[in-house]
Chains A and B, each alone.
Chain A
Amino acid sequence: MTFWVSQSLNALALGGLLFMLASGFSLIFGLMRVANLAHGALFMLGAYLGLAVVKAGYGFWTAALAAAVAVGLLGGVMERTLLRRLGGRTLPQVLMTLGLAFIIADACLMMWGGDPMRLPPPPELSGAVRIGDAVFPRYRLFVIGASAAVALGLWLLVERTRAGAMIRAAVDDVGMARAVGISASTLFTAVFCLGTALAGLGGVIGGPILSVYPSLDQDMLPLALLVVILGGAGSLLGAFVGAYAIGFIYTFGQVLVPDLAYVILFLPMIAVLSVAPQGLFGRRLG
């Protein structure tokens, strides 16, 4: 029983981190038809930047904010200078974002070296809580709460604000959105900044759990892709459901069949794709 409770909480924490990563990816994909393969690298960059800020003597919260802002700005620059000129063409886009991912990942390796590093959680969140018989790290509970808060915030932003209405309009029909006076260009950059900032924030928040190491991007990006494939690209709800589904399957897979944890991820993918090729809540992938 204790085992199931504590592993479920672990799964919720991983699912929350995956949501931070995949929701940004999915928002960008839905709005611009860009599959940003540099998203995992930006997550890792966020983690390293956060670590650097903490090591420079600032607090964890400053680090999280700084990393999110820096990564978001970098994302905005990428969108404005490089991705924009590719139009909607698939292959150049894939090559460009992948190339950027390699550059960022290798730059991290160059700057911070190959050894895994631990990002310490903020002091007020260290220690453990007893839930029934299970002892659970307080920080993981915070991650679960924080990611739920991010999910709620994103939902409010998209569904309840004027900016969100503009995003939804542009997702449905960019040309029409432009015609009624929405500046799609600004919107694209803003959403790209938001999505990549979420990845950077996720990197810092995930740092104390996942630790920070050079192939973190290659571990996280496929999971985020699976989330988007399962949930459906461009859908916040899809990213939410997909993230927690993958969080549970991967966490329990690692504990119960550690050798085949990755292979088990294949199963939900087959199940969902055979029923709905566009994912559970997605539109048709173009």
Chain B
Amino acid sequence: MSARVLPFAVALAAMAMVPLVASSPFYVNLTSQVAIAAIGALGLNVLVGHAGLNSLGYAVFPGLAAYLVAWLSTVGGFDAVSAGLLALGGTLAVSGVFALVALRTTGLGFVMITMALCQIVWGAAYRWTSVTGGDNGLSGVPRPGASVLPLERPEVFLWLCLCVLGLALLQLGRFFDSPLGVALRGTRDQPRRMSALGYDVWRIRFVAWMLAAGWGAAAGLLYAWYHQFVSPHMMAVTASAEVLLMVVAGGAGTLAGPLIGAALVVLLKNLASIWIERWVMLLGFTFVVIVLVMPDGIVPGFHRLRAALARLKPSAAPALVPRERADG
């Protein structure tokens, strides 16, 4: 167990140390972005990697949570912490309703329905100008706990994000090892057999959906607090696609994959915005290339590479053990 935890602890510690070595808050903020993206990607990975349900509307969870917290803490007049809690609860409640629709299907039907659901919420955010501010979004979202923690300082905010990320890793790691997590992978590989064995496939998928929604909502809260601004763009198709890219590029079904994928996509996006302005096209080409070259993602690809290297190295000759004679 500790051997598995160690790399994650090192990675989180390294990210937490960025403010100590970085010269400008730019890198600190970039690390916060990676952490927030990673929380979202970990959530989507429950669906894509472990439940075999390919959602193309994942941005709806962070989007709902971010809009709720933004609206509650600006227009609604709640303080930031209770707004955050209400937003979490509200997102989970709406997600529960969405589950009733989305979990009616699997496969490509699920892809289409999740995409349509996300577009409907996007449309509401975009068109319902009197409440959501339309294309301008809602700005001036206050960060919570200003009296206790100076969260307006980038390094303190980063540490908050890393704490949530740590929690997500811990909770999901334990969940994937639990009997329920194993049953979930069972429903991914052999839903009919699982059903025949007496498992309630729908209910297991529902748990996965709500877990994904919960961590998506957490990422959405942090997103709203980080930018202190929400806009419909965070629920556009490209936003859902970016999270999916993080999961697939890193390696769906692994715990480290979404983390690596999130770091890659966020860094690529930031680098791309410096040199070229065609992020969407780059995203498209990345998809095509990944599908053609590395369909399983980086983490499984790395494991395969290591296995291939191990095969290249001539293995040691078997030790000479004197055989006992049968007739001895």
Contacts and interface: CB of A to CB of B under 8 A. Distances in A.
A2 interface: no
Interface in B170-201: none
A90 B131 CA distance: 37
A94 B54 contact: yes
Pairs A-B, 9 closest by C-beta atoms: A262-B123, A99-B287, A102-B284, A285-B109, A103-B284, A222-B119, A106-B281, A277-B104, A99-B284
B119 A95 contact: no
Interface secondary structure of B, over-half rule: helix
A167 to B, nearest CB: 19
Given A103-B284, A103-B285, A285-B109, A225 B128 contact: no
A262 B124 contact: yes
Contact of B116 (A102, A229, A278): A229
B115 A225 contact: yes
Interface string B97-140: 00011001111110111011101101110111111000000000
Interface of A: 29, 33, 35, 37, 82, 85-86, 90-96, 98-103, 105-107, 109-110, 218, 221-222, 225-226, 228-229, 233, 258-263, 265-266, 269-270, 273-274, 277-278, 285-286
Contacts of B123: 261-263, 265
Nearest to B237: A218
B248 A91 contact: yes
Contacts of B248: 91, 95
B264 interface: no
B4 interface: no
B212 to A, nearest CB: 16
Contact of A102 (B105, B252, B281): B281
Contacts of A228: 112
A109 B278 CA distance: 10
B120 A105 contact: no
Given A102-B238, A277-B109, A263 B281 contact: no
Nearest to A89: B295
A43 to B, nearest CB: 15
A90 to B, nearest CB: 6
A229 B283 CA distance: 27
Contacts of B100: 270, 274
A262 B100 CA distance: 19
A91 B48 contact: yes
A96 B107 contact: no
26 contacts: A37-B115, A94-B111, A95-B248, A95-B288, A98-B237, A99-B284, A99-B286, A99-B287, A100-B284, A101-B284, A102-B238, A102-B241, A102-B284, A218-B119, A218-B237, A221-B237, A225-B112, A228-B112, A233-B109, A259-B127, A262-B119, A262-B122, A263-B120, A277-B104, A285-B105, A286-B107
A14 to B, nearest CB: 15
Interface size class of B (residues with CB under 8 A): 35 or more
A110 B282 CA distance: 13
A102 B280 contact: yes
Interface string B137-172: 000000000000000000000000000000000000
A92 B128 CA distance: 35
Contacts of B236: 218
B260 interface: no
Contacts of B245: 95
B28 to A, nearest CB: 30
B241 A98 contact: yes
A105 B281 CA distance: 8
A36 to B, nearest CB: 10
B108 A29 contact: yes
A29 to B, nearest CB: 7
Given A91-B248, A99-B283, A261-B123, A273 B104 contact: yes
B237 to A, nearest CB: 6
Contacts of A270: 100-101
A90 B280 contact: no
A224 to B, nearest CB: 9
